[in-house]
Structure 1
Amino acid sequence: MTPHPALVSAAEAITSAGTVQLVLAAVLGIAVVVLLIAWAKWHPFLALILGAAALGVTAGAAPGATVTSFTTGVGSTVGSVGLLIALGSMIGALLAESGGADAIVTTMVRKVSGSALPWAMAGVAALIGLPLFFEVGVVLLVPIVLLAAQRTGVSLLKIGIPALAGLSVLHGLVPPHPGPLVAISTLNADLGLTLAFGLICAVPTVIVAGPLFGNFIAKRVPLAAPPALVPAGAAAGAPGADAEIPPARQGLGDRDDPVEDELPAGRRRPSVLAAVLTILLPIVLMLARAIGELTLDKENRLRTALDVAGTPVVALLAGVLLAMWTLGKRAGFDRVQTSAVIGGSLPPIAGILLIVAAGGGFKQVLVDTGVGNVIADAATDANMSALLLGYLVAVGIRVATGSATVATISAAGIVAPLAATLDKPEVSLLALAIGCGSLFFSHVNDAGFWLVKEYFGMTVGQTIKTWSVMETIISVFGFGCVLILDIFV
């Protein structure tokens, strides 16, 4: 098998194993991760560390070289991805604590009714899903969904499925969420281009998996809203969900209208326009940078300015600074309170950062042992599309572990050498293909499955028919959109 000349690997630095041994090492390493997470119920952080160790030892690498490779991957991943996750979390926390998210959701729900309500809910979920993690978005939206279903008489699932679809699609396909950021970093994809392609794929995917599927499944799974608008707690499988409920949302079930609640003295609810502009600023800056790269000469001063402003760290930092004003000071927070909200956004993401970091280490061991090159050569000889390979690997790991993040990290590490042979647009599409695969068929080994089940008061069977099928539709239809884009770019 002739290796690709474009592929660069540090394999010679830590092992000289043959193809069969490297394939065996990859299978064993991934199997250790899957078994420890799915069977032994270990935290993914520890499972990824031991999986990387098993991979390195089986590949014949020296223990010291394996450790060095792993720690190098951890450092590079935290440096490129961890900072962005933290900044995005700060914007999300200010949006939630200030009542900005409430203002967006309830204003939209008030202005629409009847058949337009599911569409509006999908749009709102997608909008607030840009800066918020999926679990936080669920906590914010579900009380509004249940309240709207009770007041309008519209089926709970007809409104709820579009909201969940909007959150899930953004979580899996659009940065600055952890999964897309990890894939972009691992594959060296262009963030602005990936963001643009992700938004193009996200719109039709949300429509199909949200309002259209919601209308279909609501007729087949009758579901009444639970008596309490906010359940006493999420499932045990969703650690940390209760801790993430913003104070403004606690006890919402005893209130008639969340927008009309009295605020503490000196507090003001942010305007919808201010909240929306704050959410969109980082996205607009990153998209502007991508457009500048495609349309302006390198020497152009405007392009230089856009390159700086649209750098992910700069764009998200600008979003945080704007949020401190529009969702902090303008909302009545003093400097101490604003700092407390920002600081409070960091502890809940510690687990995510550790998983992402360990996944970066696991990916680096995959790369440095040469496993990625072997798989890339095999895929090329078999004439298998890099997009299809990335998607299928992510699907397999997602179904086995239940973790979209672990699936994204592992799949990106495996197909990373193939990215070196692709042009810039195709690398971005490869990142999206992996993101689509990471959302495939959420079931009982996924914390999100139990979170949705408990908040909507469904049985396991109902959750599979609704949530699990919706996630599969997102995965398959989203991947179809990626393949269509690949024809034109």
Structure 2
Amino acid sequence: MIFPLVIVVGAAAILAVMVLIARFRCEPILTLFVVAVLVGLATGRAPTDAVASFENGAGHALGHIAFIIAFGTMLGRIVTESGAAERIADTLIDRFGPRNIHWAMMTIGLLVGLPVFFDVGFVLLAPLAFVAARAAGQPLLLAALPLASSLSVAHALMPPHPAIIIAIQAYGASVPIMLLLGTAVMVPTAVLAGPVFARFIVPRLHVRGISALEAQFLERDVARPLPPFWLSALAVLSPVLIILAAQVARVLLPGATGEWAAGLLGSTDMALVIATLFAGLALGIARGTPWATLSRRLQDCLAPTAFVVLLVGAGGGFGRALIDAGVSHALTDLAVSWRMPVLLLAWGLAAIVRLATGSATVAMSTAASMLAPLAAQTGLVTPEALVLATGAGSVAFGPVTDPVFWQIKEYLGLSVGQTLVTWSVIETAISVLALTGAVLFQLCYQLF
């Protein structure tokens, strides 16, 4: 098939998904499946292959995120029902003030986002955003959007996230310089794409009601006193601390022992399970909740996540359908054939792969591996600027091919259109601001 037609098919598929769901209110999971299969058929694939492509993509997405959502929801239910989230929210409001809850959530997102993936951080901290917004008397989006944007910034720009490490190794960049450069760009980017943008957009949106997930996280036993702040914070941050402990174990323990300990504790699922068990014991059993009651509540809290999990899987299946149809490869070849400045090419390649596949990690690793030989030959730009530009492109657009798009939509109770003007705009703003930081760093390097 002629590759420009492949690009047309991919663009038409993305547009069709947005229009069918947003304009005609079609059921999202069915829409994503049908359009994904039609993409396969339109690009010459057999019907069984077109369906298998969707299933494989959905299975990969679900295998990665389904149990993260499940375990994170359990932990969130314990933290909110025990009053721990309310204790943290009250403390944040005391420190920042009710009108500055967006700054508080941005700060938490940056700190938690450094060692953990976006999806883990968002599932972990979303209940805190729900409770904090309610306690401060502010709209949910004013707390949730800065939280989500700061998590995304940390994921895209800062080591030790795997995609950044891949890009650093491919370009031969310096980790210490990347830490300094990433921090210098991360903070202003998080401020502008988070609290500043949230203050602008939230008054202009009308969100009807609250999502089922938000509703269950606002429940708690008012007759029980709130737990102390230190215990509340420890319960929320325990997955992060466990993952960090895994990295310390890899360094301090010799050979296979360190790798075994790091592999066990460093698993996201394992960290969330351990944290959930700790929270259940410290905030539930130790404070008088019978085990049977706690177990029943944990089972009940999973019901609202079923649709979210399936929708995230459908988003992954749709993205895989575009990849297998050749859309990603055709776009990448087109970008490489254009004569562009190296920094802009790094950003553009990553952005194109991001749009076609939905995955920031795939976008960054793909663009870095393709550009590394060219960058080494030309030597026109610093490796650190290239890493930053590639990371910037990897989060561009916040497209419907990214399962996180649908996760944000359902958690925050948004329509597709509202998700586009909030999350997609935030991701694009992060991308452009980080690219600007890369260009400024390169200019300063050349001048000084």
Which letter maps to 1:166?
P
Matched, 1:286 2:243: yes
Q: Give the secondary structure class of the aligned counterpart of 1:333.
A: coil
- Residue 295 (structure 2) aligns with: 339
- Residue 86 (structure 1) aligns with: 70
- Residue 409 (structure 1) aligns with: 358
Q: 2:277 aligns with which of 313, 318, 321?
A: 321
Q: CA deviation at 1:432?
A: 6.6
Q: How many residues align?
A: 393
- Aligned mates of 2:272, 2:423 — CA distance in 1: 31
Report matched runs for 1:368-447 at 5 Å. Answer: 368-382=324-338, 383=340, 385-391=345-351, 409=358, 418=367, 421=370, 433-435=393-395, 437-438=397-398
- Aligned mates of 2:102, 2:7 — CA distance in 1: 47
Pair 1:209–1:283, CA change in 2 (3 A): same
- Aligned mates of 1:263, 1:414 — CA distance in 2: 46
Q: CA deviation at 1:128?
A: 9.0
TM-score calculated relative to the size of structure 1:
0.63
Q: CA deviation at 1:60?
A: 0.7
Listed as ranges, the gaps of 5+ residues in structure 1 are 1-16, 147-155, 224-232, 249-261, 398-406, 441-445, 454-459
Alignment check: 8 A CA contact 2:41 2:47 kept:
yes
Pair 1:203–1:416, CA change in 2 (3 A): closer
Alignment check: 8 A CA contact 2:109 2:148 kept:
no
Q: CA deviation at 1:340?
A: 2.6
Alignment check: 8 A CA contact 1:366 1:413 kept:
no
Q: Deviations over 1:421-456 (max 9, x none)?
A: 478x9899857744453299xxxxx96899699xxx
- Residue 173 (structure 2) aligns with: none
- Aligned mates of 1:472, 1:24 — CA distance in 2: 22
- Residue 133 (structure 2) aligns with: 142
Pair 1:207–1:25, CA change in 2 (3 A): closer
Q: CA deviation at 1:99?
A: 0.9
Pair 1:119–1:98, CA change in 2 (3 A): same
Alignment check: 8 A CA contact 1:96 1:102 kept:
yes
- Residue 61 (structure 2) aligns with: 77
Listed as ranges, the gaps of 5+ residues in structure 2 are 114-120, 170-177, 373-383, 401-407
Matched, 1:271 2:271: no
Alignment check: 8 A CA contact 2:323 2:357 kept:
no
- Residue 247 (structure 1) aligns with: 219
Q: Give the secondary structure class of the aligned counterpart of 1:247.
A: coil
Q: CA deviation at 1:244?
A: 3.4
Alignment check: 8 A CA contact 1:296 1:303 kept:
no
Pair 1:338–1:448, CA change in 2 (3 A): closer
Pair 1:388–1:291, CA change in 2 (3 A): farther
Bigger helix fraction: 2
Q: 2:30 aligns with which of 46, 55, 71?
A: 46
- Residue 401 (structure 1) aligns with: none
Pair 1:341–1:23, CA change in 2 (3 A): same
Q: CA deviation at 1:64?
A: 1.0
Which letter maps to 2:283?
L
Q: Give the secondary structure class of the aligned counterpart of 2:289.
A: coil
TM-score calculated relative to the size of structure 2:
0.68
Which letter maps to 1:437?
F
Q: CA deviation at 1:50?
A: 1.6
- Aligned mates of 1:57, 1:474 — CA distance in 2: 35
Matched, 1:167 2:127: no
Pair 1:409–1:276, CA change in 2 (3 A): same
Alignment check: 8 A CA contact 1:133 1:171 kept:
no
Q: 1:330 aligns with which of 286, 295, 317?
A: 286
Which letter maps to 2:358?
I
- Aligned mates of 1:25, 1:96 — CA distance in 2: 45
- Residue 149 (structure 1) aligns with: none
